[in-house]
Structure 1
Amino acid sequence: MKTTEHKLTAWQAFAHAKCPRCRRGDLFITGMYEFKGQEMHKTCSHCGLVYEREPGYFYVAMFASYALNVAEMVTLAVAISVLTGSSNPWLYVSIILGVAVVLSPFNYRYSRVMLLHWLTPGLHFHPEMSEDKAE
């Protein structure tokens, strides 16, 4: 029986951290801001995709996380300058580092999601994989 109730767009699957191949299984076991940290599933619960494609695969996500951090810091520096007009370096350092610490779980999660969804060659959405499993 084919259903369309589980069809997510690419952006919805990205935002909800779903499997890039079937868009049904969750990538993470825990929430973004839990005290015990973020833990990923080894495989997709729906289609069986192994998330860590090779040993050390997620080290590449550090580059995506770095890019996110730089974009956030530059945006904050411009916003602080425009909103306050201050030239006090301690204002910039304290706000930017505080926000960087708060956003670090977000950057960790979405750098991995970005790696799986957009930066892995040959890993694409397969609509037939998103169908309900036969019982």
Structure 2
Amino acid sequence: MFKKGTKLYSMITGCCPKCHQESMYSNKNAYILSETLKVNERCSKCNTKYRIEPSFFYGAMYVSYAVGIAFAVAAYVISNLIFKANLKVTFIAIVGTLVLFMPVIMRLSRNIWINFFMHYDESLVKK
């Protein structure tokens, strides 16, 4: 399920959607906020250009909304349904989750967005 060659692998790891051999990001740590969204210009292994056109990643904002909702629902289920927290604590848990995971949500959204347009190509993998 999370094997190289699957879209899910590329989305979760943030690796090149074409060859899955290196990270798209200049820094793998999403929590270095000044570098959270810094994407390499091209893949050094297969030469795939990540910025297909100017403002390409603006479309990731739409994906970010859905991913944020998924994180908020998860926080609600964990805090309210599992731990039986009251409404105020549940609200704080949701907001805290969204703030804490914002760099991850932003990167995950970009990974999902670029994988809509690019597909794994096994012939690019050097053996």
Q: TM-score range by the shorter chain?
A: 0.7 to 0.9
* Unmatched runs of 5 consecutive residues or more in structure 1: 1-6
Counterpart contact for 2:10–2:111, Cα < 8 Å: no
The reply to whether residue 127 of structure 1 matches residue 122 of structure 2 is yes
Q: Secondary structure at the match of 2:73?
A: helix
Cα distance change, pair 25–85 in 1 and its aligned pair in 2 (3 A): closer
Question: Is the 1:26–1:45 Cα contact (8 Å) retained in structure 2?
Answer: no
Query: What CA distance in whole angstroms lies between the structure 1 residues aligned with 2:31 and 2:20?
Result: 22
Distance 1:71 1:40 in 2: 24
In the alignment, the residues of structure 1 paired with residue 85 and residue 123 of structure 2 have an alpha-carbon distance, to the nearest angstrom, of: 56
Matched residues, number: 122
Question: 1:3 — aligned with what?
Answer: none
**Does 2:10 match 1:13?**
yes
SS at match of 1:124: coil
- The CA distance in 1 between the partners of 2:65 and 2:48, in whole Å, is 26
Aligned AA (1:45): S
Q: Tell me how far apart the structure 1 counterparts of residues 12 and 78 of structure 2 sit (CA, whole Å).
A: 25
User: After the TM superposition, which parts of structure 1 deviate over 2 Å for at least 4 consecutive aligned residues?
Assistant: 11-16, 83-88
Which deviations, in whole Å up to 9, do the C-alpha atoms of 1:109-129 show, x marking residues without a partner?
111111112x22xx2211111
Question: Percent identical across equivalent pairs?
Answer: 24
TM-score with structure 1 setting the length: 0.79
Native 8 Å contact 1:80 1:92 kept in 2: yes
What's the offset of the Cα at 1:35? 4.3
* Structure 2 unmatched runs, 5+: none
Conserved in 2, the CA contact under 8 Å of 1:25 and 1:47? Answer: no
What residue is the counterpart of 1:95 in the other structure? 93
Counterpart of 1:58? 57
Aligned-residue CA RMSD (Å): 1.9
State the shift of 1:95 in Å: 1.1
Q: TM-score, normalised by structure 2?
A: 0.84
